[in-house]
Amino acid sequence: MSLSLRALLRPDNQAAAVHPLWQICACVGRLFRWRAVWWVIASVFGGVLLYFLLRMTAAAAADADGQPYQVAIVRRGDLVSTSSGTGQLVAGNQISLSFSVSGTLAQLNVQVGDRVSAGDVLASIEELHQLELTVATLEGALKTARRDLEDLYQNSEVTLAQARQSLAEAEAAYESAKNGLIHRGDMRCSKEVTEEYYYQYLQAQSRVSEWEGYLDGNTGYGTDFVLTRLVSMREERDLAYLNWQYCQSFTEQEIRETEAALALAEANMRHAKAYLQQLEQNGGLDMDAVELAETRVKNAEMQLAVAQHDLEGAQITAPVDGVMTAISAAVGERVGTATVMVIADLQHPHLKSTFDETDLSGVAAGCPVQVVFDALPDRVFAGTVAQVLPQLVESNGQEVVQADIIFSGDDSPADAGLPLGANAALDVTCTRAQNALLVPLDALHLDQNGNDIVFVLTPQGSIDQRAVEVGVQDLSYAEIRSGLSEGEQVVVGDIQT
């Protein structure tokens, strides 16, 4: 039990008489010989002494109950959360190369391990020359098609003049067909000629009838003689009849032919008029001919593009600077469109890295990375997380996070001569907290609902439970985003409340 201040300051109290504070106050009293000052000073020192005695008593009581604890002051500082992993150097880009057309491999200019530059011809097939000829032929066809289209524009005045001439000729042909049209009832010959043929027929028929009468009577002519004369007479009569019929009318076929000729001439004239009108409206351009010429140009361009693609596909050229890592064909073999060779870009290597599953939340695209290769332990390379695989990958029987690390152009392992497959250790820093409230991790606890709490030592010496919002954490400290103030004291370690 602690002593009261009144008992402590009584002169007849033996415990106070031997206390150092009492001796100090007595000396001061004797020094100043002023009773009032002595009592003021004694009261102040007595109060201070009482406070410390109470704290000591509380601590002793805590020790007696078996509940010791340590405290830490809530302070401000910077915190960085780092995830560590391992990785291997891989080619930044491996490109599979192939022909776009089938053929026989005629030329192979590289071997596995050769370094090549972008644009180098690596291989070609025998059909290359035939494809070159096809391209040349189609280039000529395209030039012709373009020239024909250009002529339509340049010769618009000539086309317009020719259309006017064609219309004039069509109108003349129409007039001629119109004049030559035969109507039913029209006579082929003049009336006089027709009548003359008719009278010739009547006379010839009269003579035939007269001599036919000789066959029945005794005229002194023999039957054979009469029949012989009748043959020529009848022929003369039939010819006169045909002449008469020919001049008297036209045949149905002739009438239809003139009608068809007139219809055709009229259609040609209308077409010529419409064509001329179209040309006049379009400055002498035949838009149908222009459209057709443009279509021919487009077709020629498409055919040439296909041929050029085939020609380009008959050769394999290096798309980037790199090293040949695989070749799957030999000269003389038949090749198709499957992969023939693989080139690796060694100027821009990546780091294929893995992290523990527990670091999944601490690894994200865009986070800065520090890399140290086993072969160069004294050099740190700067990189960035380019991609994190969306699912865990099994490695050595464990599920790990896999990420692709790229290096900055000014700090690339390629400049250090590191080979593919070089092993490295790396640290990824995705989260930082600057000027944040910090507490030791041992000060954090979970309540029965799983929420973060701390135990705060109040100025009165009591312990308060406080809910907090935890932010960034490292191996020792945690960021407190809400629930605490700078300077407060939190209990570290286990505590019984």
Residues 443, 71 contacting (CB under 8 angstroms): no
* Paired strand residues for 81: 431
What domains sit in the chain, N to C, each tagged with a CATH number?
Answer: 5-65 (no CATH), 69-85+350-497 (2.40.420.20), 93-127+315-343 (2.40.50.100)
The helix/strand/coil state of 74 is: coil
Q: Rounded mean pLDDT of 415-425?
A: 84
Give the separation between CA 416 and CA 407, rounded to whole angstroms.
13
Q: What is the pLDDT of residues 44-88, one digit of tens each?
A: 454 444 334 434 433 443 443 444 678 999 999 887 777 888 998
Q: What phi and psi values does residue 175 have, to the nearest 5 degrees?
A: -65, -40
Q: What phi and psi values does residue 262 have, to the nearest 5 degrees?
A: -70, -45
* 92-96, 147-151, 203-207, 302-306, range with the lowest pLDDT: 92-96
The helix/strand/coil state of 493 is: coil
H or E stretch covering 497 = none
Check residue 152 and give left, alpha or beta (phi > 0: left; psi -120 to 50: alpha). Answer: alpha
Nearest to 354 by CA among 402, 308, 387: 402
Q: What is the pLDDT of residues 205-256, one digit of tens each?
A: 999 998 888 887 767 778 888 889 999 999 999 999 999 988 988 888 999 9
Q: What phi and psi values does residue 180 have, to the nearest 5 degrees?
A: -90, 5
- pLDDT attached to residue 409: 67
Give the separation between CA 28 and CA 41, rounded to whole angstroms.
9
Q: Return the exposure string of 98-134: e unless at least 16 CB atoms fall within 10 Å of the residue's CB, then b.
A: bbebebebeebebeeeeebeeeeebbbbebbeebeeb
pTM above 0.75, yes or no: no
